[in-house]
Amino acid sequence: MRIFITVIVLIFSLQSLTKADDISDFKIEGMSIGDSLLDFFSEEKINNFVNYDNLPSDMKFRIAELYSKRDMEMNRYDGIQIYYKPEDKKFILHGVSGHFLCANKNKTECKNVYADIVNSISSDFKNIKGEEQTFKHIDDKSGKSIVTNYSINLYNGSIITVTYTDWSNEVKWVDNVSVDVSTIEVNNWIAKGYGTKE
């Protein structure tokens, strides 16, 4: 029931937000590209977010995670992932994504959430052709975890992505659906192994 209500709320919010001409109007829990994290959190709290600093990266961007109730009250998502430049004293957001955890690995519910979000976004951006890809998740060495990814490249270089991750029983993580908006700079950085590959 919780998943169903969440999907209805999310789709309603996407329908109103994706009609905006400016990607900065596309908000996830009130945050969007170009916002300063300082409008939401203290510098001390930002510096203490759970992050991925221990993973291979050139640290052009810091990836941090926020969780509902622990870090902030969230209306639609179970957690948020954010991208910002660690040397930027204004803490400007270059990417933000919200994710839903699918209860009890109910794959049908997860697939339906993913499909409903993709349909909503693609119908609002009829003039832009989206692209869907399916591939194995690199964090599951068994090769059994599958990622389905739908993305729309916007005219200003920003990208909206919807992802369904179907984790296998070989790993401990929970199936999830995420909605992501990020600059082309962030996406190119990720594509180059988080800055570790030429």
Span 71-122, pLDDT tens digits: 888 888 889 999 999 999 999 999 999 998 887 657 888 889 899 989 988 8
Residue 3 pLDDT > 70: no
Provide the number of structural domains found in the chain: 1
Q: What's the pLDDT at 186? A: 94
Q: Is the pTM of this model over 0.85?
A: no
Let me know if residue 136 belongs to a domain. yes
Let me know if residue 157 belongs to a domain. yes
**Domain range spanning residue 107?**
2-191
- In a 13 Å sphere around the CA of 12, the CA atoms on its Cβ side amount to 7
Let me know if residue 198 belongs to a domain. no
Let me know if residue 124 belongs to a domain. yes
Three-class DSSP category at 17: helix
Once rounded to an integer, what is the mean pLDDT over residues 140-160?
A: 90
| Dihedral angle, C-alpha 132, 134, 139, 143, nearest 10 ° | 180
Q: Worst-scoring range by mean pLDDT, 30-34, 65-69, 181-185, 187-191?
A: 65-69
Q: How many CB atoms sit inside 10 A of residue 90's CB? A: 12
Q: What's the pLDDT at 17? A: 41
Confidence class of residue 4 from pLDDT cuts 50, 70 and 90? Answer: very low
- Cβ atoms of 179 and 162 within 8 Å: the answer is yes
Let me know if residue 93 belongs to a domain. yes
Let me know if residue 60 belongs to a domain. yes
Let me know if residue 58 belongs to a domain. yes
Residue 130 pLDDT > 70: yes
Let me know if residue 196 belongs to a domain. no
